[in-house]
Each structure stands twice: as structure tokens, then as C-alpha cells.
Amino acid sequence: MKGVFGLLPTPYKTDLEIDTQDLRSLADFCCRSGQHGIVWPVMVGEFYFLGEAERIAALDEVLDVVAGRVPVVFGCSGVSVPQVVEFARAAGRAGADSVIAMAPAQTNQDVAIDMYHRLGDAFDGPIMLQNAGGYAPLTGEQIATLVEQVPHIDYIKEERHPGPRHIAEVRDLVGDKVKTIFGGAGGRLLPDETRRGADGCMPACQFGDILARFYALWWDGDEDAARALHRRLLPLINLENHAFFRYILQLRGVISAMTVRAPGPTLDAADGEEIAILLQALDAQDVCADFPFSDQV
């Protein structure tokens, strides 16, 4: 598993229940637009707002619509280690291809290390270690030790700041003992992350087809063209927040509403005008033809 693994935002109906039809549409969009995998729910999917039962039930919806077209990684981060482990067991029962988790908030590195050992016992498949600031981030040496001790840790998402430098650190320490190191930061630092040893990224999914094009160019050896594409997309990536994800996905006809479970940043008419201007920098060949950008929501 490598390349662009699109992060799904969690869509809601006006009654604040998960909109399963829009969730299915998001997963289908990732498959049809050439993204290499799907991850749900992590920070972009607001895992911290989701109940246990609805989260597990919605995984079945994602797996059903994907139907094996791309790998599905279930986000298991939670409020406690037992909850993380229960999500991992549910992922195994449902047939998810992998799980990803970071330590619960307000814990420490000892808790994080213990959690990954427990995940190795709970999920009989590849585990993605997510190393993020604010969630008991591990040192490179601690990650390398866990990779040795927990055979199921095959993938790492390294997003400590500065991301590219830490990706290089972890790559030097683990070598080929993990299959892929994924970067974070929404793809902002993608060329530098790739240059320093990342073979994938996990951005919000709304531009996943364009970032898949980046990888196609880079893997074909055309680094200059890949960087040029990234420079055209970067001003849009820099605008990202939860309202932005939803707005772009509405422009592309993927989801139907901007509803959220908690107040957050909003977009005004001037934001829409700026986004429209920035979208003009993208070429038709960069964008999946099935999901063009409309003029307005």
C-alpha cells in the first residue's frame, strides 16, 4: 500500500446523523478518481465526534461500496486504549485491509507503546503507526523498537513537525522493515517528503486524483513535472479546513451538504471567488473527468 490514501470527511444529515449515502459517495469517489486507498475516520473524519456503534456500522458501508477496488484502512484512534483495541477487533470482523491509530489524547509514550502491542494482538493484519504531535508522539528510536517487536506494524504515518526531516529519520532507522512511510500535512510538503523517503501521503480526499497524478509523474521519473503540478495545487491545499473539504467535494458533486456536528470555520462568498480563481491553475489532464469542478455549490 503506497501513494495517495484519501481521508474521508464524515458527512452528516441535517439531524446530525451520519449521512451514509454521502459517505458511500465519498468512498466511491476515491476509487473512481484513481486514489490508491481510503482511510476513515481519522482527524479529517472527526473520529472524536463519532460514537462507537455508528462508527463500526459506517465501516460496513464503506467496505460495501469499495468492494475490494482499493485498500480500506480503518481509523481506530479513540479516547482510551481499550476503545482503540475494540475498534481494531471490529475492523478485523468487518474485513478492513488495515488499521491506523495514534495514542489517546492526554496520555504518554508508555501508553502509546503499550497500545501498539495490544493492537498487534487484536488485529491480524497490517497496522499503520500514526505518529502525530499532541498524541504522545514517539521518537524515531521508539518507532524502530516497536517495528522490531510488533510484526504487524508494516506502515508508518509520520507527521511530527517538521515532517520531512522526521520521515528521513525514521527511514534511516527502520530501512526496509516497513513497507511504506506516509506523510501528513495535507500534502503541503509532498515533494520534500517523497524525496526524503516517503512513498505515500494521507491528505483529505478532495484533490486525491490530482495528487495521484503527482505520484504517477514522480514514479515515472519526471520530478520536474510532478513538482510543477504540486506548485499549482499548493495554494488550494493551504486553504484547507473542514469547511473547505466539504465545499470542494460539493463542487465536484460528491457530497450534498456542509453540515457539521460542531461549529467551526466557515467560507464566505469571497472565499468561493478565490477558490474559483485558484482552480483555474489546474489542467484538465490533472483532474478526473468524472468529477469536474462546477462553477458554484
Q: Are 164 and 192 in contact (CB under 8 A)?
A: yes
- Cβ-in-10-Å burial (0-12, 13-18, 19+) of 271 comes to middle
**Distance separating alpha carbons of residues 126 and 278, to the nearest angstrom:** 38
**Residue 60, number of CB atoms within 10 A of its CB:** 15
Mean pLDDT in order along the chain per 10 residues (297 residues): 98 97 98 98 97 98 98 97 98 98 95 98 98 94 98 96 96 97 96 98 98 98 98 98 97 96 94 97 94 83
Q: Which residues have C-beta within 8 Å of that of residue 171, sequence separation ≥ 6? A: 181, 196, 197, 198
Q: How far is CA 280 from CA 34, 188, 274, in A?
A: 21, 19, 10
Query: pLDDT at position 295, please?
Result: 75
Query: pLDDT at position 296, please?
Result: 65
Closest to 18 (Cα-Cα) out of 32, 206, 248, 47: 47
Q: Would you identify the CATH topology of the domain 3-206?
A: TIM Barrel (3.20.20)
Query: pLDDT at position 297, please?
Result: 63
Domain ranges of the chain: 3-206
